[in-house]
């Protein structure tokens, strides 16, 4: 029997088992900044590697790059982030607490009966699309939405607030040296478009992929690693002929959804959400939403960005960013379809889906276990090697197996505590396979393999362990 899981269950589990800790915890943490622990770092790396391989290795026309976090400040003027990368905010005058207007209204809508909530959100979408800030304030006031801290409806006007962090380059603190921490990785791809196209002799359509840190001064940062101030993105810009963008937009919608389903997550946990208010650069956009413990929310965005970015960079840099299409015998600025997924948000999706509290009670005996049913290819530890006792030569056989397997996948060795306890600890960190070495191993060279999800056990030849695990953790 699987119990309902809450966000708090996931947060506690991540902390208790070394997946995620609050940043600088001994100093009481830093808002919306988190550190990944020993198992979290492995799981995150495995998700990143899976994405990277799916995008680059499995698509012959997509290559990966690794651009710097710092970029020339004019990049952000050209991209529109200096002028447009802001959210409408409202402050409560009594508590001084600042809210993102959409979050305040969304939070309130969740407290209403479904139909009323939907009507409120539809009105909000319309006002946001029209940039009608006075209308948004009226909507908050008409609904008598209160500040969670002061409990009053004493609101300021709605204002725009830029989300980029800035810092100084070099030692002289003047305006000319002000630079930004990138709020998205995409611009590192756009400014390298011609470098990659020419040195890689890439032909349209082709893509450039990248993973890396991005920074946003989120005002309302909540829901754990769902909305962070420092996070990681996995983005891919696909350069296409002008006019072909809708065909590729549909292609990437379908391809990205297939990737999500390949994680073993059921189709009904996902849905597409088409944007009503399009970003300044887009002619079509949608989100892939996943059903988190707190409802359906965006994990990934797919955006048809037109030729906006390359055109802007061409204008602001004065450098030509056109492509010569030999088939059409024509120069043009390519159009771009982007897929953009947050690695941390994807991590949260994977771990929320995997987390289960199982009630294993049999009459007269109460028992339960917490298990992470992670896809084997993503699990932080693939194989635990457990000698039944610390003596009789069993640890030596186990150590030999460790030496044989560890060059190929991440293994874990443990000889302390009863075997049942050791199995439970591996269940909690999502280890898909445990091998137990016992006295019979010495007689017939067989071991017990125990499967995490079914808890079934069977005897297999010791010599077959490495290849069997290798088979089961294949990415493709």
Site of interaction with ligand GAP (CB under 6 A): 184, 186, 216, 218, 227-228, 231, 233, 235, 298-301, 338, 340-342, 344-345
Task: Tell me whether residue 13 or residue 297 sits nearer to ligand GAP (CB atom).
Answer: 297
Taking the least distance from each CB to ligand GAP, the nearer of 31 and 461 is 31
Is 13 or 345 the residue whose CB approaches ligand GAP more closely? 345
What is each CA distance from 374 to 30, 38, 202, in whole angstroms?
Answer: 29, 16, 37
Between 92 and 340, CB nearer to ligand GAP: 340
Nearest by Cα to 190 from 81, 321, 60 = 321
Cβ of residue 456: shortest distance to ligand GAP, in angstroms? 36
Return d(Cα 407, Cα 384) in angstroms, integer: 14
Nearer to ligand GAP, 188 or 432 (CB): 188
Smallest distance, ligand GAP to C-beta of residue 391, A: 49
The CA distance from 455 to 209, in Å, is: 39
Tell the smallest beta-carbon distance from residue 135 to ligand GAP (Å). 24
What sign for the dihedral angle of Cα 341, 344, 345, 349? positive
CB atoms within 10 A of CB 209: 22
Collapse the DSSP code of 151 into the 3-class scheme (helix H, G, I; strand E, B; otherwise coil) and give the result: coil
Contacts of 22 (CB under 8 A, 6+ apart): 15, 29, 30, 33, 34, 35
Question: Residue 322 in 3-state DSSP?
Answer: coil
Report, in Å, the least distance between residue 291 CB and ligand GAP: 15
**Cβ of residue 227: shortest distance to ligand GAP, in angstroms?**
4
We find the least distance from the C-beta atom of residue 301 to ligand GAP, in angstroms, to be 4
Query: Using CB atoms, what's the residue nearest to ligand GAP?
Result: 342
**Which of 346/384 has CB closer to ligand GAP?**
346
For residue 270, how far is the Cα from the chain centroid? 15
Q: Smallest gap, in angstroms, from Cβ of residue 246 to ligand GAP?
A: 19
> How many angstroms separate the CA atoms of 303 and 284, rounded?
6
Q: For residues 217 and 404, which CB has a smaller minimum distance to ligand GAP in the complex?
A: 217
Give the sheet arrangement for strand 230-240, strand by strand.
62-65, 206-215, 230-240, 335-342, 295-306, 284-292, 270-274
Burial of 368-394, coded b for 16+ CB within 10 Å and e otherwise, reads: ebbbbbbbbbbbbbbbbbbbbeeeeeb
């Amino acid at each position: 029997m699987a119990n309902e899981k809450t966000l708090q269950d996931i947060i506690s589990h991540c902390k208790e088992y070394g997946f995620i800790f609050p940043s600088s915890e001994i100093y009481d943490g830093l808002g919306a900044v988190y550190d990944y622990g020993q198992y979290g770092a492995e799981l995150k790396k495995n998700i990143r590697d899976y994405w990277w391989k799916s995008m680059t290795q499995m698509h012959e026309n997509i290559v990966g790059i690794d651009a710097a976090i710092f970029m020339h400040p004019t990049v952000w003027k050209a991209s529109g982030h200096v002028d447009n990368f802001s959210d409408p905010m409202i402050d409560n005058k009594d508590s001084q607490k600042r809210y993102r207007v959409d979050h305040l209204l969304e939070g309130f809508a969740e407290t209403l009966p479904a139909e009323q909530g939907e009507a409120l959100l539809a009105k909000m979408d319309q006002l946001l699309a029209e940039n009608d800030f006075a209308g948004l304030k009226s909507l908050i006031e008409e609904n008598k939405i209160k500040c969670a801290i002061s409990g009053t409806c004493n609101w300021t006007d709605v204002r725009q607030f830029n989300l980029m962090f800035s810092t100084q380059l070099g030692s002289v603190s003047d305006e000319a040296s002000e630079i930004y921490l990138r709020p998205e990785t995409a611009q590192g791809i756009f400014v390298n478009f011609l470098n990659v196209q020419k040195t890689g002799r890439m032909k349209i359509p082709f893509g450039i992929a990248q993973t890396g840190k991005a920074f946003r001064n989120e005002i309302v940062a909540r829901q754990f690693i769902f909305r962070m101030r420092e996070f990681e993105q996995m983005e891919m810009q696909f350069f296409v002929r002008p006019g072909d963008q809708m065909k590729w937009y549909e292609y990437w919608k379908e391809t990205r959804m297939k990737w999500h389903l390949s994680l073993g997550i059921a189709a009904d946990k996902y849905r597409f959400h088409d944007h009503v208010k399009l970003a300044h650069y887009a002619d079509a956009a949608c989100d892939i939403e996943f059903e988190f413990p707190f409802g359906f929310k965006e994990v990934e965005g797919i955006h048809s960005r037109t030729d906006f970015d390359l055109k802007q960079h061409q204008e602001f840099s004065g450098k030509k960013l056109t492509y010569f299409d030999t088939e059409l015998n024509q120069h043009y600025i390519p159009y771009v379809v982007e897929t953009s997924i947050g690695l941390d948000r994807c991590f949260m999706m994977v771990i929320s889906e995997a987390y289960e509290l199982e009630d294993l009670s049999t009459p007269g005996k109460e028992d339960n276990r917490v298990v992470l049913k992670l896809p084997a290819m993503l699990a932080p530890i693939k194989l635990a090697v457990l000698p039944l006792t610390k003596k009789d030569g069993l640890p030596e056989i186990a150590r030999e197996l460790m030496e044989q397997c560890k060059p190929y996948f991440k293994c874990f060795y443990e000889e302390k505590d009863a075997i049942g306890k050791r199995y439970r600890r591996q269940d909690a960190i999502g280890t898909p396979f445990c091998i137990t070495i016992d006295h019979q191993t010495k007689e017939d060279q067989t071991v017990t393999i125990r499967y995490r999800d079914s808890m079934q056990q069977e005897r297999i030849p010791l010599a077959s362990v490495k290849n069997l695990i290798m088979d089961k953790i294949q990415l493709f």
